[in-house]
Amino acid sequence: MTNPTKSRRRFTAQQKQEAIDLCLQEGLSCNAVAEQLGLPSSSLARWVRQARNSFGEGCAYDRGQAGLRDQGLLTSEERAELNRLRKENRELRREKDFFKLAAAHFALARRASACGRSSCRREVSPDRGAR
């Protein structure tokens, strides 16, 4: 459970880059670097994964399994674009649904005004069927 009084630690871009460099260039494991620097190992692993996806660098701590784990992961820019496109898609669907309802409403109103009644029903004569 999280402590509401404890503030969340923030790391500068320089701190993140130094930690990532230790993993990628020095070949140290993320757990070892995180322990040395006093960082959460999960945060450092995420930073390294993002750096590897963004720059295509391999990381020695993965021991060759990076290709299997990172298939299909997106860079930060791709993720931002995907979120933007999903939002745009949602808005376009809402607009389409609105116009579909509006068209149906106006079609019913036009049909009702054409026959002069609020509810336009076809009259049925016994010898000819529907008129």
pLDDT of residue 91: 97
Length in residues, the chain:
131
CATH of the domain at 26: 1.10.10
pLDDT of residue 1: 55
Mind giving me the DSSP string for 12-77? -HHHHHHHHHHHHTT---HHHHHHHHT--HHHHHHHHHHHHHHH----GGGTT-HHHHSTT---HH
Q: Of 31, 30, 37, 32, which Cα lies nearest the Cα of 15? A: 37
> Contacts for 8-15 with beta carbons within 8 Å, 24 or more apart?
11/39, 11/43
Host domain of residue 36: 13-69
Look up tokens 């460099």; give the residue.
21
Q: Do 22 and 65 fall into the same domain?
A: yes
pLDDT of residue 120: 54
Q: Do 61 and 83 fall into the same domain?
A: no
Mean pLDDT by 10 residues, the chain (131 residues): 72 88 86 89 89 63 43 76 96 96 90 68 54 50
pLDDT of residue 110: 86
Cα distance between residue 42 and residue 46, in whole Å? 6
pLDDT of residue 28: 83
Count of domains observed in the chain: 2
Q: Is residue 2 part of a domain?
A: no
Q: Do 83 and 64 fall into the same domain?
A: no
Q: Is residue 23 part of a domain?
A: yes
For residue 50, what are the contacts with CB-CB under 8 A and spacing of at least 6?
75, 76
Q: Is residue 80 part of a domain?
A: yes
pLDDT of residue 86: 96
Q: Do 58 and 20 fall into the same domain?
A: yes
pLDDT of residue 92: 97
Q: Is residue 7 part of a domain?
A: no
Amino acid (one-letter) located at 108: L
Domain end position, chosen among 69, 84, 102: 69
pLDDT in tens, 76-91: 788 899 999 999 999 9
pLDDT in tens, 12-34: 888 888 888 888 888 888 898 88
Q: Do 18 and 59 fall into the same domain?
A: yes
